[in-house]
Structure 1
Amino acid sequence: MSLDRIALVSDVHGNLTALEAVLADIEGRGIERIFNLGDYVGKGPRGREVVEVCRRRCEVNILGNWDDFLPDPARTYDTEGMAWWLAQLGEGQGDWLRGLPFSYDFLLSGRRVRLFHASSTSVHNRVRFDHDEREFLGMFANTPATGDGPPPTVVGYGDTHDPFYEVDRARRTLFNTGSVGNAMDDPTPVYVILEGVFGSAAEAPFAIQFVRVPYDAEAELAVARDMGMPEWDGYASELRHGIYRGEMHDPDGPKYHRRPAQLQ
């Protein structure tokens, strides 16, 4: 039986060097189908270029929280970083980002898969790895954001930058892709490969694989410095050490990135 493979990437956050390394790994494995779970921009220096590459290379592109709020014409920003990242977008890219679909459903080896960025209700509602049962079940629910239809049995999402895999006795499977451009704890970019029979309602082998791809973080930091990107020290903390920029000046804080953060 021939199985299809789909690469899932998420949370590139303007880190073009990391994205190029991950795409090279995907291409080297002969995978042609790439789905992107959002957050193309912000935090890193090259949102414009990341959007250009993803529009060209990704078969499916999904809305992320940064993609929704950063180019929102109703918002005004009084921080240097937000204004800078917004200014990096090319003509029409803000409209493209805000017009992306909320979720994407498909069949794979008899399982109904649903992908979205953060949760079933909103790109701004965060569900972390240490969720409770109510939050877990809520990820599989139909909502006004996802629309009607058969509920999924497999849900994949990004947003938290914490990759994980979980399954219950009803065979509901929840996983997080982690982040390509802004991975926490282990700062090595990570993406997911789904393997199965695409579009098939018949049960068949099904697999989820997490892949870490080393890249030249110092090259990306050099680009950010040369471009004069604000919050460079925080960005260096994240790319070099996987320490969230909001914690870099808190030596007594928790050791690992296992806590809420507002703008991941």
Structure 2
Amino acid sequence: MERVALISDVHGNLTALEAVLADIEGRGISRIWNLGDYVGKGPRGREVVDLCRERCEVNILGNWDDFLPDPAREFGGDSLAWWLAQLGPGQGDWLRALPFSHDEWVSGRRLRVFHASEETVHRRVRYVRSQAEFEALFSNTPATGDGPLPDLIGYGDTHDPHYEVQLEARTVFNTGAVGNSMGDPTAMYCILEGEWGSQETAPWSVAFARVPYDVEAELAHARAVNMPDYEGYEVELRHGIYRGNLREWKAGERPTDYHERPL
């Protein structure tokens, strides 16, 4: 039995990433897969990309990794230009060239991981979703390519961890987020254990790990470098409230629609 750590959605939060990597190392896990969204929202995309290139054996494309370095994008002076400027030479090209998905056998299951959905990194599948959306996750598309159909899906993007199994043993798990987890803001990742590379039925498991980190240090750095949209970053890191609900939060309301928020 071997364990692989699956991380996702670091979003430039180097403090959280370092804490998660230390926890992974402390558990004796050497294999790490990253399911995308290295950059944006947080202040240190460059450092996050460097560290993930060094430590992760599998790196997957996320939606921010695709659109932020897009040379055709017109920024118009908004905050996206600030996050793009944080990237080092060649990092934007590296991000946009990342594979869409990765398949591997584990304990007789055909595992497929991607960032958001089977179709595109720019369409997310929420915890509250339709039956058709669930079933589509297991299909081959132009983005995933052909090959054996998966029966075990791992993805990130929503910052909203969950696990679900349906008929024919089709199983989906969402890793949650390292950099700005929703609901519970504590950094989160998954550990998948099984017989890797084996098509023979064997025990396997998926576990969710929460890792506290120094939120105040991360926010202090964001303030020191005058990162844009700081209030949104702060409410996500302190309270696990999506920045799109900042107005309701400041008004004293308790936003509860994140699971169902449309794209």
TM-score, structure 2 normalization: 0.97
Distance 2:261 2:157 in 1: 11
Q: 1:138, 1:36 → 2: CA distance?
A: 22
Match in the other structure for 1:80: 78
Gaps of 5+ in 1: none
CA distance in 2, matches of 1:13, 1:101: 18
Distance in 2, matches of 1:14 and 1:261, equals 24
Map of 1:248 onto structure 2? 246
Equivalent AA in structure 2 for residue 223 of structure 1:
H
1:20 aligns with 2:21: no
* In 1: Cα distance, 2:199 partner to 2:55 partner: 27
Partner of 1:259: 260
Instruction: Tell me which residue corresponds to 2:102.
Output: 104
Separation in structure 1 between the aligned mates of residue 74 and residue 262 of structure 2, nearest angstrom: 21
- 1:191 is aligned to 189
Q: Secondary structure at the match of 2:121?
A: coil
Residues 38-65 of structure 1 show CA distances to partners (whole Å, capped at 9, x for unaligned) of: 0000000000000000000000000000
> Do the aligned partners of residues 79 and 187 (structure 1) sit closer, same or farther apart at CA in structure 2, a change above 3 Å counting?
farther
Rounded to whole Å, the distance in 1 between the matches of 2:244 and 2:76 is 18
Q: Which moved more, 1:202-211 or 1:79-88?
A: 79-88
**Alpha-carbon distance in 2 for matches of 1:257, 1:188:** 17
Q: Encode CA deviations 1:79-129: one digit per residue, 9 max, x unaligned.
A: 531010000000000000000000000000010000000000000011101
Note if contact 1:11-1:182 (Cα within 8 Å) is conserved in structure 2: yes
1:64 equivalent among 53, 62, 65: 62
Aligned counterpart, 1:140: 138
CA–CA separation in structure 1 for the residues paired with 2:218 and 2:74: 28
- Extract unaligned runs of 5+ from structure 2: none
Amino acid at match of 2:212: P
How many corresponding residue pairs? 260
Structure 1 CA distance, aligned partners of 2:77 and 2:139? 37
1:48 aligns with 2:49: no
1:214 maps to what in 2?
212
Aligned to 2:92: 94
Q: 1:217-258, CA deviations, whole angstroms, 9 ceiling, x for partnerless residues?
A: 110000000011011111100000011111111244633532
CA distance in structure 2 between the partners assigned to 1:25 and 1:87 by the alignment? 30
Q: Which amino acid aligns with 1:27?
A: E
Please state if 1:165 is matched with 2:166: no
